[in-house]
Amino acid sequence: MKYVTKVEDKAFVIEVREGKIVVDGKFHAVDLRRIELLSLYSLLIDNLSHEVSIEEREGEYRAMLRSKLYTVEVQEERRTRERAVPGSTTPAAGGEISIEAPMPGLVLEVLVDVGQTRQAGDVLVVLESMKMRTELHCPQDGVIQDVHVAPHDHVTQGQVLVTMSA
């Protein structure tokens, strides 16, 4: 899954893969593990160890690394493209829409049930991958037809989580 990440005033394209990330085309081996119940993590990048404190506030992250505080915004690359060219990748009205896992991970929350009506932008499922929470949003107004996962399920990239009709 690719993300557009803005750190302070610089933007990066980051692709998350199993055990590594690609930042602006350059591969890095990574491992991120929570070391305290609060927000302290051990971050290993290309065999260099870092201690980082990460906090999420109103859709932004604040990361303290080497005594410097960074403000970080993370957005799926696909959403960035959708906003740049309105309607370019919006699913067609009518028919069935499958909401798929953008990466392998753990289902933290399922916020919908079969038969519920949801609006574009509503959160459907919350995943965790590499200790980062990812909210999967409803791409357009519709009715939930099937829920294929439950909290604590492990999912693979591309696995269908929710099916809905427009």
- Give per-residue pLDDT as tens, 112-151: 999 999 998 899 999 988 778 888 888 888 999 999 999 9
Task: Say what the pLDDT of residue 84 is.
Answer: 41
Third-level CATH fold of 2-77: Glycoprotein, Type 4 Pilin (3.30.700)
Distance between CA atoms of residues 156 and 166, nearest Å: 25
Q: Which of 102, 88, 135 is nearest to 14 (CA)?
A: 102
Q: Which of 97, 78, 98, 73 is nearest to 89 (CA)?
A: 78
pTM, rounded to two decimals: 0.48
Task: Say what the pLDDT of residue 33 is.
Answer: 85
Class of domain 91-165: mainly beta
Q: What pLDDT tens digit does each residue of the chain (166 aa) get?
A: 777 888 887 888 888 877 788 887 889 888 888 887 678 888 888 989 999 988 887 778 888 888 898 888 887 765 544 444 333 334 444 578 888 888 888 999 999 999 999 998 899 999 988 778 888 888 888 999 999 999 999 998 888 999 998 7
CB 147 within 8 A of CB 114: yes
Question: Could you tell me which residues come within 8 angstroms of residue 122 by beta carbon, excluding any fewer than 6 positions away?
Answer: 111, 137, 138
Question: If 0-12 CB within 10 Å is exposed, 13-18 middle and 19+ buried, where does residue 21 land?
Answer: middle
Q: So where are the chain's domains?
A: 2-77, 91-165
